[in-house]
Chains A and B, each alone.
Chain A
Amino acid sequence: MQFFLEIVISGVLSGLMYSLVALGFVLIYKASGVFNFAQGAMVYSAALAVVGIMDHGVPMWVSVFGAFVYMVAIGFGAQRFVLGKLVNQPSITLFMATIGLSYFLDGMSSILFGNEIRSIDLGIVDEPIQSIMSATGLGISKFDLFASGIIIFLVILLSVFFQFTKIGRALRAVADDHQAALSLGISLEKIWTIVWIIAGFVALVAGLLWGSRNGVQYALSLTALKALPVLILGGFTSVPGAIVGGIIIGVSEKLAEIYIPPVLQDAFGGNYGGIEGWFPYIFALLFLLVRPEGLFGEKHIDRV
């Protein structure tokens, strides 16, 4: 039971990291209807920018700021030169354009900041917290707890921003109805740029956390893909959905990784590790068959 609990907790904490990437997807999708495949590449780019600038011997906070500037530039460029040119195209075209964008970002960031594997040191060690360990016997990583704290803080920050600022209200208006928002004098172009910049900021936070956890390497881009099943589970348009979906995916993949391979091994022999690699996708796929709009998504009605 203790072992089980430990897996669940580590699943929840790592799931929150997926949520963070998924959050970036949701923000852009809600505001502009673009399914941004490049979010993973943005996370990777942000992490690369941080370590790349730090290589020049500047302190951490300067390089984080530099990376933020880089993300702003990317967000601005993406809206100005890619998606701004593709307004009113079918969403599948937009999706393919963001695949192109993700290749472009991967290449550009690697050229600018080098692609050798490095790590970010946030100054928090990835070790179990002693007091909880001795009290309950559960090993909870200090880093995971710290990361979850950051993520929860970020979500609260974003919801306050959306709820109480002028720009936030405009963002929600655009998400509700493009045309109505436009007729009230809200500039779609401007709002979309802002959303891309916010998504870039979220990607930066994700890049910092992922990068210090697993090292800054190309695999980061692929890990970020796991945010896709999270979105499917949570629904594309829901921020709480991204969080809950992330937790479900995190826990289920950890459980699958622990409990499925021994079963297979008994049946067929051999080694069946690495289930984590595909389990979220299959899980999301099966879920789609039952509930195509996701847990919190809006029900879609087709009209001819």
Chain B
Amino acid sequence: MIYRESGQFKKSYRADSQLFPILQDKVGVCIILCIALFAVPLFASEYWINAILIPFLIFSLAAMGLNFLTGYAGQLSLGSAAFMAVGAYATYNFQLRIEGIPFLLSFFLGGCAAALVGVLFGLPSLRIKGFYLAVATLAAQFFVVWCLTKFPWFSNNSSSGVISAQNLEMFGFSFNSPASKYLLVLGIVFLMSLIGKNLVRSATGRSWMAVRDMDVAAEVIGIHLMRTKLLAFAVSSFYCGLAGVLYAYCYLGAVEPDGFSLELSFKILFMVIVGGVGSILGNFLGSAFILLLPIFLDITLPALSSLFHLPISQAFISHVQVMVFGCLIIFFLIIEPHGLARLWSIVKEKLRLWPFPH
């Protein structure tokens, strides 16, 4: 009843191809943005901002990167964490070695460095696909982490490759408080998702999807396979790299190469699967879900066990977490391969008619 497009006529093609064609969607997005922009910094506690909202946004960005590659272009990657690491370390070095470079520029350059490495490891995708490619990206994962640990130049000779992010200062303002960091991350993530959303519905995105659905057929209809695949790798790694920069500069403050482990790559992959393969909204849903689930289990499991008077250890909780993650992945792949994003669109369909049955 409330959520329907009746009466909203589009008079031009341009108006019809808007990002959010329905008025209700526009209002909804504006409300969410207003809450994120004004209410959160004012009212949210430091714990919420630091431990949940900032990582949520950062992981959404990383998941978006992986989603371009896996969800849209159909190339499975298990090395997203490595590209995050490249971004973080590149930005650190740009800041360290170039006097007075603006932070935003070094963020951008960090993303570009990740894109470059991504293209390098994407080169095999021209000859191989499927699991072969997955194994090739594992090479990126292990090799990058090893390089960052062993070559002291990358971390400015610190022991075991730990870097601590420089103080964020932009336009004469230093981003020290959680709220200011949060706003910075929010701004970047908002901008990048806007670009991303437009990218996937443009010619680029369509050619990615054509390659995903059948690469031989895509080639036949005139899509340049090499350019398309490498572009997917570049854009994906750029997003992951930027997420890595924010991860180091706005979330953790100090990172080590081992922090960007295979576990992290899998976590990002899980976000994509749970959230929705081939959906921009899905990245946010998946990221929120995967981040909140452990917290939820942390709270409920001890409560449950005290209910049944069972002894419970921290190790047990973490094992259960791993188990639940595994179950969820299988569950989503079987029941709803398009993830939470599809569930949301089903809800929207229902809302169009609600409260009437037809």
Contact = CB atoms under 8 A, between A and B. Distances in A.
Interface string B118-146: 00000110011011101110110011001
B142 A278 contact: yes
Interface stretch (B185-193, B233-241, B287-295, B322-330): B322-330
B330 A101 contact: yes
Given A278-B139, A288-B127, A107 B334 contact: no
B344 interface: no
B333 A93 contact: yes
B102 interface: no
Given A115-B315, A288-B127, A281 B326 contact: no
Interface residues of A, number: 51
B333 A274 contact: no
9 contacts: A35-B131, A89-B333, A95-B130, A100-B326, A101-B326, A111-B323, A222-B262, A228-B135, A281-B135
Contacts of A54: none
B352 interface: no
Given A270-B152, A281-B135, A292-B128, A104 B143 contact: no
A281 B333 contact: no
B333 A285 contact: no
Contact of B132 (A100, A115, A232, A282): A232
A111 B319 contact: yes
B327 A104 contact: yes
B329 A97 contact: yes
A228 B322 CA distance: 23
A278 B149 CA distance: 13
A125 B149 CA distance: 35
Given A268-B151, A292-B132, A103 B323 contact: yes
Contacts of B319: 106-108, 110-111, 115
Contacts of A52: none
A184 interface: no
Nearest to B331: A100
B135 A304 contact: no
Contacts of B151: 268, 270
A108 B321 CA distance: 10
Interface in B134-172: 134-136, 138-139, 142-143, 146, 149-152
Interface residues of B, number: 46
Contacts of B266: 99, 103
| Residue from the set B146, B325, B330 with the largest chain A CB neighbour count within 10 Å | B330
A100 B325 CA distance: 7
10 closest Cβ pairs, A-B complex? A100-B329, A104-B326, A107-B323, A103-B326, A281-B139, A107-B322, A278-B142, A100-B330, A278-B143, A35-B131
A95 B76 contact: yes
A225 B137 CA distance: 13
Contacts of A93: 333, 337
Contact of B333 (A97, A272, A277): A97
A268 B128 CA distance: 34
Nearest to B219: A304
B138 A228 contact: yes
A89 B338 CA distance: 13
B216 interface: yes
Contacts of A115: 315, 319
Interface string A234-267: 0010000000000000000000000000000000
B220 interface: yes
A92 interface: yes
Nearest to A291: B127
Interface in B330-350: 330, 333-334, 337
Nearest to B75: A92
Nearest to A25: B131
Interface string B32-46: 000000000000000
A151 B273 CA distance: 37
Contacts of A108: 319, 323
Nearest to B328: A100
Contact of A107 (B143, B321, B333): B321
Interface in A19-57: 35
A274 B143 CA distance: 10
A154 interface: no
B329 A99 contact: yes
B333 A96 contact: yes
B316 interface: yes
B329 A103 contact: yes
A282 B136 CA distance: 8
Interface in B88-140: 123-124, 127-128, 130-132, 134-136, 138-139
A281 to B, nearest CB: 3
Contacts of A284: 135-136, 139
B217 interface: yes
B147 to A, nearest CB: 9
A99 B127 contact: no
A256 to B, nearest CB: 12
A86 B216 contact: no
